[in-house]
Amino acid sequence: MAHADEKPVPVTSSVPPDFPEDQKTLFREVLTVMKEHRVPHAVSGAFALQQHTGIWRYTKDLDLFLTAEDVQPALDLLRQHKYVCEILDPVWLAKAHRDEFYVDLITGMSNGVLVVEPSWLERAQSAMVIGVETRVLAPEELICSKLFVTRRERFDGADVAHVIFRTKGKLDWERIQAIVGEHWEILLWALVLYRYVYPAQTDYVPFRLWQDLLTRYMNLVSKNDPKAKFRGSLIDENMFAIDVREWGLEDVLAEYRERRLPKHVHLEAKDLCLDEEQKSA
């Protein structure tokens, strides 16, 4: 039971949220600017989830996936339209906002494991978002983008299960496996949850995939590897902080994030926010 001071947990529904008109106007403007200036991007988040599952949820943010190389052009454009812009995390996240509504520019996962590649955007599917013709992440990339959202305060396993269920498993599973690569155990974890939730639709996941992943898993657990690195921080750096800070286990999170930093387009201070003249306008 929730305490009186806690926010209510959102309940899944097909009923569209009542977005304020100024929020819809802002989202439309951003999508139109990005489209007119041909900055490669794909809408993710609540709008992509709705496209592939029919589930609506309210959001103050418009999530846009783009490559690291396209962050600066996108922020330049939004700054010209008097958005306040900042890099919150050079590994994966920039934000632009006006008033109380935000646009998230996302180039990968916060743990540095998965990176948005041009193919993610090339495979995006046409959709109408807030009245603008645009593109949303394909269901395969949407699933992959949610596999590592496994924190105590937010877990997207239900979203993954819903995408599989609502698409009836008609997915490019080889594409999903190619994206997750060596982190296939996270995919298996999500699929086991899916099967528990929807046992009558086990066949939405191809048997050959179940067989492949479970065989690989059994091979792993049949023998212990004393040199295998601790990976808890890739799941939740806070919940597994004691393992790294006090128990001396490997900081794999830092390793993955460090790999991402040299590839990121670093922005000068003038690109991070409105200049003083714009602020006082």
Map out the domains of the chain with their CATH numbers. Answer: 21-226 (3.30.460.40), 227-262 (no CATH)
Which pLDDT tens digit goes with each residue over 203-253? 999 999 999 999 999 999 999 999 999 999 999 999 999 999 999 999 999
Q: In this model, does residue 267 exceed pLDDT 90?
A: no
Quote helix, strand, coil % in the chain, to nearest 5. Answer: 50, 15, 35
* CB-count burial class (<10 Å; 0-12, 13-18, 19+) for 61: middle
Q: How confident is the model at residue 180 (pLDDT cuts 50, 70, 90)?
A: very high
- For residue 5, the model assigns a pLDDT of 57
Q: How many CB atoms lie within 10 A of CB 62?
A: 24
For residue 199, CA distances in Å to 140, 157, 161, 193 come to 21, 16, 11, 10
| pTM of structure | 0.90
- HSE value, Cβ hemisphere, 13 Å, CA-based, for 14: 5
